Structure 1
Amino acid sequence: MNSADDQLKPAPGALQRAFTIIRALAHAPAEGARVTRIAKEAGLTQATAHRILQSLADEGIVEQDGNSKLYRLGIDFFALAAQASNPSGLRTLCRPAMLRLCASLGDTIFLLVRSGFDAVCLDMCEGPFPIRSFTGDIGGRVALGVGQGSLAILAFLPEAEREEIIHFNVPRLRGYGVLDEVYLRTEIERVRQVGYAGSNSGVLEGMAGAAVPILDRSGVAVAALSVGTLASRLTPERLPTVVELLKRQADAIGPRTNPFDVALRRTAQRPPIAPIAPIAPNGDGIGR
């Protein structure tokens, strides 16, 4: 007679098959894969692969896009990996660099990360000048393409993802009055050529910003370091120095980023289109 512990053990090979599915998903495209492809790569029947995927989805290890029906590794998988591999996360990793930049430049420094079709302010170090931004305080978000930081991220995403975001976000950008698809594509190309986003965009009078992407080991933007300041302080003569300091810190951070950090995890579900409030005529803010 089997003991109680024996009865609780998974069926022979069940764990191996589950990890085979997980490994197949790890090598799948960023948008995910269909069950037929996963089954083939895992060497399983489609029915078996589907059953295991559903079990993993129940545990949050796998998620399925509601529109495309593609499967991909879930947020809980990356959260567990992040806790095991790098409990401090991106914010702690970048904090010393942000403090150094804030002290050296005397301006406000922002750390932005991508969240679906938006950029989110993960951290900031306030300088002495009273400024505001599109994202507001820590935790605020803005559509990718609006402001220097989110533009730096968008420009260095893989082409397919970049095109999807442009298509989805253009209607959201029109609330700002001066942003359209031609403008956005022109700015993206310029950022890709020079390696940074930096200017007074004209959207927010009297304010300016500069930002560089933080690139992971594959050269994909996972975040951005950004300076927000008065337009009078970001002169053409000073801009190269600001950009050089930002790049130096971003280059040091990039190789140290944890690919399993939950803060860098792309969301699988497309957010609803939300209207963007027009900027007030006095333009109190910056484009970070």
Structure 2
Amino acid sequence: MDTPVSVVARVGATLRAVAAHEPDGATTSTLARATGLARPTSHRLLGSLLEEGLVDRDADTGRWRLGPELYLLGGAARSRYDVTAIARPVVRRLSVATGESAFFSARRGEETVCLVREDGSFPIRSHVLHEGIRFPLGVASAGLAVLAHLPDAEVRAYLARADLVTDYGPQHSARRLRERIAAVREVGYAVNPGLLVEGSWGMGAAVFDDAERPQWALSLTGIEQRFGAARQRELGELLLRAAHELTRTLAGR
């Protein structure tokens, strides 16, 4: 028999899985796999969430999407948690200055969630990131930047329990991540050399809260040819300056 705590945990995991597949939506089977639930269990849970307006279902495709009630709940909480209005001008300046797609992501537990995307002027774009997509810490440049700036004890504990290889490949083993974390700590910014999608590179810098904890990140993505060594240094400096500016602004709000 499910306890109230386990039911809430399943609801939370299901809603996060649905959010990760916006805007196209996801099938029941996809969501069941993402949450580790049996398909019948996932289907019953989704049906209950549909009745509450927390998810919606496309009548033609059967795919699940986030529901209208979440929009209303989010609007009520916006004044306390929304920092995108502060971050968006910084993200836009990065996209204009570099020509690349620029992003602002927030740390949520052991994940980063993309909150803002601004496309630059360069006509070829990477579509790995979009608003609402989630990645575990250590995956994509934003998550790597955040992970690298956590205390050593937290990094060790996370790498000991996280299995990133199954979903993201051997380049995300604990040993490889420790190597990349060391590189981030040396230069200050993270580089993702096409580890999620071949040829799509990313760079990220952590943004800190007033307790000096990495809670957000700014990042850039683009094609490999535009991320040579010399330009990496140029983009890294831009990211670090923008991250410092945003850290100061958020700390003073």
- The Cα of 1:249 is off from its aligned counterpart by 1.0
What is the correspondence of 1:51-130 to structure 2 with a 5 Å cutoff?
A: 83=79, 89-127=82-120, 128-130=123-125
What do the CA deviations read for 1:186-220 (whole angstroms, capped 9, x no partner)?
A: 11121112111124154532111111111233332
What do the CA deviations read for 1:252-285 (whole angstroms, capped 9, x no partner)?
A: 11122259x9xxxxxxxxxxxxxxxxxxxxxxxx
- The Cα of 1:172 is off from its aligned counterpart by 3.2
What do the CA deviations read for 1:52-79 (whole angstroms, capped 9, x no partner)?
A: xxxxxxxxxxxxxxxxxxxxxxxxxxx9
What is the correspondence of 1:207-218 to structure 2 with a 5 Å cutoff?
A: 207-218=200-211
Matched, 1:131 2:123: no
- From the two aligned structures, give the one with the greater helix fraction: 2
Matched, 1:231 2:231: no
Q: TM-score, normalised by structure 2?
A: 0.63
Aligned to 2:169: 177
Alignment CA distance shift 1:168-1:157 (3 Å):
same
SS state of the match for residue 217, structure 1? Answer: coil
**Larger Rg, first or second structure (1 or 2):** 1
- The Cα of 1:82 is off from its aligned counterpart by 8.0
Larger RCO (CA within 8 A; separation ≥ 6): 1
| Amino acid aligned to 1:175 | D
| Amino acid aligned to 1:243 | G
Aligned to 1:161: 154
In the aligned structure 2, how far is the partner of 1:123 from the partner of 1:110? Answer: 5
Identity %: 30
2:140–2:196 CA contact under 8 A, matched in 1: no
Q: Which runs of 5+ in 2 are unaligned?
A: 1-74
- The Cα of 1:176 is off from its aligned counterpart by 2.0
RMSD: 2.5
Aligned positions, number: 176
Aligned to 2:133: 140
Matched, 1:250 2:246: no
Q: Which runs of 5+ in 1 are unaligned?
A: 1-78, 262-288
1:197–1:210 CA contact under 8 A, matched in 2: yes
Q: TM-score, normalised by structure 1?
A: 0.56
Aligned to 2:16: none
